[in-house]
Chain A
Amino acid sequence: MEKIKRYSKIIYILWLRQLKRYYRSRPRMIGSLAQPVLFLVALGFGFGPIYQKAGGGNYIQFIAPGIIAMSIIFTSMFTGLEVIYDRQFGFLKETLVAPVPRWTIMLGRTFGGATVATMQGIIVFFIALFIGFRPENIFTVPLAIIYMILIAVLFTAFGTAIASKMEDMQAFPLIINFLIMPLFFLSGALFPLNGLSKTIQTIIYANPLSYGVDGIRGVLSGQMHFAFQTDFLVLFVFATVFLALGSYLFSKAEV
């Protein structure tokens, strides 16, 4: 009992640190919103007419959940950069020598980063409202946040796991971009999953982000490919695995 109390305190203080840093860095907040907004406007309005003609309905309704997921995965994965940043500037040492299990440090960091990413997702949701997105049912919107949180935790843990093993500040963004792009493009964020070739479909089914996009879209736009329970279960399992993997790699980190 004592231990649980102590561990939650550690997780809390690291979570709080992450939020303070986010709150104090306005350029970062704005910078990470620019890309999703661009995608939303350019693709939403650009492909809109053709999507309608093909009988898909309103494209903004379709793509907005995908872009929300995109802003979350970007922010989440790049949280790992802070581990590398902290290593370069020395702060990582301060946490690594602390008399607490390193997994508590990893969890605190991850939940902090995931909270920030989820907030980004919610901001993108509001921006989408502004350019014409209408959720199916205003009362179920909070349900979508559950899926956002799951995506955020999953990919923050993933980013942190990679960062625990890397020292190079320049290589990290390159590698992360190299991972994010296929994860995003092959997740059904931009196009429906019906009638795709078998190969592409298999890849998309293996991508955890697909289930996150599907869950958010199911709640917000009422369009689904899988089912709510499937989405939840897959995301939950992946998130748990990556948290465990991240904790393990982080506990082996050296400076």
Chain B
Amino acid sequence: MTELLTDRMPTLATGAGSTVEFRGLRRTFGATTALDGLDLEIRPGELLALLGPSGCGKTTALRTVAGFERPDAGTVLMDGEDVTRIPAHRRDVGMVFQSYSLFPHLNAVDNIAFGLRMQGTGKSARRARAMELLELVGLPQHAERFPSQLSGGQQQRIALARALALRPKVLLLDEPLSALDAQVRQTLREEIRRLQQQLGITTLFVTHDQEEALSMADRVAVMRSGQMEQCAAPAELYQRPATAFVAEFVGVMSRIPGRLASDGRAVHVLGCSLPVHGELPGSTDFGGGARDVDVLVRPETLGVTAADDGTSRITAATFRGAGTRLTVRLPDGREAVADVPTAAATALGAGTAVTLSLPDCPVLVDRPRGAARPAGSAVQQPVSTTRRPWRRTR
């Protein structure tokens, strides 16, 4: 695929992207609530990933845009227009499914041209456009092949081509890479991103794979139990999570016990005093005064040094190529995770007593969680929405 694809094939550009907005979407299936008041705004031309554990409602949200689910309450707006009542076959969206996306009885060209055929486009015009799209996804030589003769990755590319055939306002992708091999997934991930950027089409992408979401998306919306936890660029999500759930869902987060100063501006942890960068919502419910908190730490920032009088102990050391992941048991019984360069980990085997340290950087604090972490611990903080950013104390 060349750089100036849309210059070479101007008919492919969809122009300025469309906006999509959810307002107060609610949907229940019997006893389960799939969507619980979802508010979200997708900006023109951006790729927004919906990320979350299974059952969080991300697929339901996507299908609501497509028209396959009708919400019990709330509206879906496209370019400011309310499309909630419009049936699926009259919406201007293109969707790629997780599996079984192609019609088995049609070859690649006919699959792609299907939408055009439903609209009444002539045969030669259909074929021309379908071939154009086949070239876009890099499979012009497979035009006459049937889905059963194509690999999983090829099928999904053709499904993508078909989704783009009618120049939709919005592109919807429902975990399109989940059913593919790791290798194919990687390649296709990059291609989808490249294509999306070149065409400038607003895209909504559902996935449960963090790495996928963080590497592909302009913004990531983390969902839980039908609501939005945080919607932000990947870096911000990682470095400044707005809620405890996001902090622990995205990447690995360890909790080190510390004591917050009475003014709330510094926290005493691991023997030094560090400035507080932010507090997760709900942790100030105690009111003023010094109190115990948990300091949230990413593995790459936690320092580990062997020391005979160390109060923590390494329980496992996992070799991971350039780095080694150490699992450390803290004095209060909880475990923390630290990533250290393998070169520095020669003396750090399982059973070694160690002391931990943190760099002199602002840290994130949260209300303390019990000494031994119960499985599937419930989080007491109120869930934040995009409108409530994380609390900055500086």
The answer to whether A binds B is no
A-side residues, CB < 8 A to B, are none
B-side residues, CB < 8 A to A, are none
